[in-house]
């Protein structure tokens, strides 16, 4: 038996594009409990491809929209096909960031052949604001020792991942020497 997960994108103009994300196979006749349902590695593959597929589709639609000259409406010539890497909460995604030769009607100097990359201009950072925020929150939790429940040791605690630092009797997390950690 086979299952295929597809991501269907529908533009505001009603155009539909379907991308195949993953395919899972299972025998119909199973002999063990382990052969039933999704396993962790398959779930991870699905969760990695879903946001990447959505991100690439959105960015491609944005680039296609920006390729149309806002002044005269003609399609600006494709100059090059660059890619950019964007770190997201769900992993690093490589997106297409094509360069377009600015339409002649908007060239600052005739025959100047200025190239523009709308996607490159949109991606002003290497990681998304959401990833930055979560990393900052996780860092704050680790420093305060409250990240131990997430499977990370407190900063300065020389234990194994997942091993909780013993709190000081005063209730505050401890440092490597068992003293209350500074806040």
Q: Which residues bind Zn ion (CB under 5 A)?
A: 69, 71-72, 103, 105
Min separation Cβ 69 and Zn ion, Å: 3
**Which residue, 117 or 174, has its beta carbon nearer to Zn ion?**
117
Minimum CB separation of residue 68 from Zn ion in Å reads 9
Closer residue to Zn ion (CB): 111 or 158: 111
Please identify, using beta-carbon distances, which residue of 75 and 134 lies nearer to Zn ion.
75
CB of 97 to Zn ion, least distance (A): 21
**In angstroms, how far is CA 83 from the centroid of its own chain?**
15
How near is the Cβ of 79 to Zn ion at its closest, in Å?
A: 15
Q: Which is nearer to Zn ion, 107 or 166 (CB)?
A: 107
For residues 39 and 105, which CB has a smaller minimum distance to Zn ion in the complex?
Answer: 105
CB of 144 to Zn ion, least distance (A): 55
3-class DSSP string for the chain: CEEEEEEEEECCCCCEEEEEEEEEECCCCCCCHHHCCCCHHHHHHHHHHHHHHHHHHHHHHHHHHHHECCCCCCECCEEEEEEEEEEECCEEEEEEEEEEECCHHHCCCCCCCCEECHHHHHCCCCECHHHHHHHHHHHHHHHHCHHHHHCCCCCCCCCCCCCCCCCCCCCCCECCCCCECCC
Report how far apart, in Å, the C-alpha atoms of 151 and of each of 24, 142, 157 are. Answer: 30, 10, 13
Report the alpha-carbon distance of residue 162 to residue 146 in Å, rounded: 12
> Closer CB to Zn ion, residue 73 or residue 177?
73
- As measured in angstroms, the least distance from the Cβ of 125 to Zn ion is 30
């Amino acid at each position: 038996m086979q299952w295929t997960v597809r991501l269907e994108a529908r533009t505001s103009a009603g155009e539909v594009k379907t991308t195949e994300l993953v395919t899972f196979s299972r025998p119909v006749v199973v002999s063990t409990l382990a052969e039933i349902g999704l396993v962790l590695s398959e779930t991870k593959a699905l969760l990695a491809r879903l946001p990447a597929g959505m991100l690439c589709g959105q960015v491609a639609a944005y680039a296609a929209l920006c390729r149309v000259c806002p002044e005269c409406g003609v399609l600006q010539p494709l100059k090059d096909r660059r890619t950019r890497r964007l770190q997201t909460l769900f992993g690093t995604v490589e997106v297409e960031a094509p360069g377009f030769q600015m339409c002649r009607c908007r060239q600052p100097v005739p025959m100047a052949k200025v190239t523009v990359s709308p996607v490159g201009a949109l991606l002003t950072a290497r990681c998304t604001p959401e990833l930055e925020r979560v990393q900052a929150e996780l860092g704050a939790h680790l420093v305060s020792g409250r990240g131990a429940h997430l499977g990370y040791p407190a900063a300065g605690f020389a234990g194994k991942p997942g091993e909780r630092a013993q709190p000081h009797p005063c209730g505050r997390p401890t440092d490597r020497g068992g003293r209350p950690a500074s806040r």
